[in-house]
Amino acid sequence: MHNTPSTAMPPTPSTATSPTPGPHHRHNRRRRATLIGSGLLAASALAFTVAAFAAGETKPSVAINVDDQPLARTESDSYAPVIRQVAPSVVKVLVTERAKNIPAQDNPFFNDPRLREFFGPFGFGGPGGPFGGPFGGGRRMQRQPEQNGLGSGVVVSADGYIVTNSHVVTGADVIKVSFNDGRELGAKLIGADPKSDLAVIKVEASGLPAITFADSDQLEVGDRVLAIGNPFGIGQTVTSGMVSGLGRATLGLDYEDFIQTDAAINPGNSGGALVDVRGRLVGVNTAILSRSGGFQGIGFAIPANMTRGIMEQLVAHGKVTRGYIGVKVQDITPAFAEQFDLDKTEGALVAEIVADGPAGKAGLKTGDVITGFNQKPIKDGRALKLTVANAVPGQTVPVAVARDGKTETLELKVGELPRDPGEREDPATAGAGRDEGTLQGVGVSDLSGRARREFDIPARIRGALVTEVAPDSAAAEAGLQPGDVILEINRQPVHSAEDAVRLTENPKSRKTLLLIWNQKGTRFVAVDETADR
């Protein structure tokens, strides 16, 4: 919802009865007070003018200074030249997650025994039930309506690569990009990295206005920055501020090194650009810290250097590979510094070493303090984690270690960060994977004896039974319905549900020709999924 601005009304006559003032009336009263005050000033000016003419004086005039020269466009007076340069590189990202059936086993509504008694064992979610499909195997389902979202993105290459936040595109079935020149193009997901909240999408275009990256390691607190994005979907908006802090870790992501800024960032700015006064990208706007949900002066952006490294891996491999050394560390407190004979509270204290890991093989021990990794100083445990993650698996690097009051250097061969046990596939990438096949929103099963009796399917019919068709899918528009039997897909025979799935994976075209059977006979159905839906 949005608030519709109220129209100022003229003051009511003094004889009118005023309602009891509530919040709305108080608002109008304040507005009216402003109008009345202006009227009093105007009346005073008019009285002065009439009196002046009556006294034979000339009409008064106001002497003001006017400079007719064009507005100055220097860095100190205006950001307009920077905005003209950068604005075309910042885009609006619109995402849609199609309506679909989702498991509803946690909904107590479906567990009501009275409903089960009424609908019977094949009611909610059961075979033939309204939520599980004709042969849903008893899993209760409920319909999730279509979901729409909005974010921002930054064009990073002339041939169509765009960086945004992972949370903007997670679960999206359709991604569209709206440019400053009015164009709106469909985009595909190249890869997403939820651990850093970055993603790369691509549009089929050339000659796009790609932004220039800055070296974000050179940022200092107090540097002026501009945030550009599409807050609340109102259109491209620019806000100014400065770098308020560096190296922030506040959102609970696995890899955080945020730039903090007081430039206003609001919902819809996610994935937009944080640029310096030269128009170079220094960060990707990601989040705000707020008690109200709106801007309160604390926004965060992923540094351009981190963005660049992750983006390059996503483009090259579709995923991010990180370094690994196999240690658990703690930050150095003053008490630890005293106990471990350190002259400052910098470094990462090794609390545990993973058996047979790279660190153990290199000779690191519990109680060592890592002060340098690959020629880079290590300030704390977070700095070590980020530095190790950026290391290339397989390379050998020097590790500076403080041990028993002395410093020594060990040679360590970096490993590859293993997948976390139980870690699920990235939902954003998984959503893209579902779009690789055709017949989206269609469920199939083998032709069992029960199915043949339910739909009166002759024994001579061989194929895959359609158990579910999403109402908003291209297949539904083409006329496919539950109970149809798919005999062929693209002129290839179908003998089972497995055949149907195999023939719709990695298709050469998004147009699918089906031969189906139902009680009305055998006919061809053409399903066209080339258009974004």
Mind giving me the DSSP string for 509-520? -SEEEEEEEETT
Task: Write out the two tokens for 464.
Answer: 């895959």
Task: Write out the two tokens for 416.
Answer: 């590859």
pLDDT computed for residue 14 by the predictor: 39
Over its C-alpha atoms, the chain yields an Rg (Å, rounded) of: 32
pLDDT computed for residue 494 by the predictor: 92
Mind giving me the DSSP string for 211-275? PEE--GGG--TT-EEEEEE-GGGS--EEEEEEEEEEEE--S--SS--EEEE-S---TT-TT-EEE
Q: How far apart are CA 417 and CA 395, in angstroms?
A: 14
User: Which H/E stretch holds residue 369?
Assistant: strand 369-373
Q: How far apart are CA 110 and CA 140, in angstroms?
A: 8
Start-end ranges of CATH 2.30.42.10 in the chain?
A: 323-416, 436-528
- CATH class, domain 436-528, is mainly beta
**323-416 has which CATH code?**
2.30.42.10
pLDDT computed for residue 290 by the predictor: 62
pLDDT computed for residue 134 by the predictor: 38
Contact criterion met (CB below 8 Å) for 288 and 299: yes
Q: Which residues are catalytic?
A: 167, 197, 270
Task: Write out the two tokens for 267.
Answer: 């919902």
pLDDT computed for residue 163 by the predictor: 92
β-sheet bridge partners, residue 466: 444
Q: What is the pLDDT along the chain (533 residues), one digit of tens a residue?
A: 333 333 333 344 433 443 444 444 334 433 332 222 233 333 333 343 444 444 444 545 445 454 555 543 445 678 888 888 998 999 999 888 877 655 555 555 445 544 444 434 433 444 444 444 433 444 455 566 777 788 889 999 989 999 999 888 888 888 999 998 889 899 999 888 888 889 999 999 889 999 889 888 888 898 899 899 888 878 888 888 898 888 787 666 777 778 888 888 887 788 888 998 888 899 998 877 666 666 667 888 889 888 888 888 888 888 888 888 988 888 888 888 887 878 888 888 888 888 888 988 888 888 889 999 988 888 888 889 888 988 888 889 999 998 888 888 999 899 888 866 444 444 334 443 344 578 888 888 888 888 888 888 998 899 999 988 888 788 888 999 999 999 999 989 999 888 898 898 888 888 898 999 998 889 888 898 886 44
pLDDT computed for residue 120 by the predictor: 40
CB neighbour list of residue 257: distance below 8 Å, 6 or more residues apart: 247, 248, 249, 302, 303, 306, 382, 386
Start-end ranges of CATH 2.40.10.10 in the chain?
A: 212-317
CB neighbour list of residue 451: distance below 8 Å, 6 or more residues apart: 134, 135, 445, 457, 465
| CATH architecture of the domain with residue range 212-317 | Beta Barrel (2.40)
Q: How far apart are CA 95 and CA 93, in angstroms?
A: 7
CB-based burial, 475-491: b 16+ in 10 Å, e otherwise: beebebebbbbbbbbee
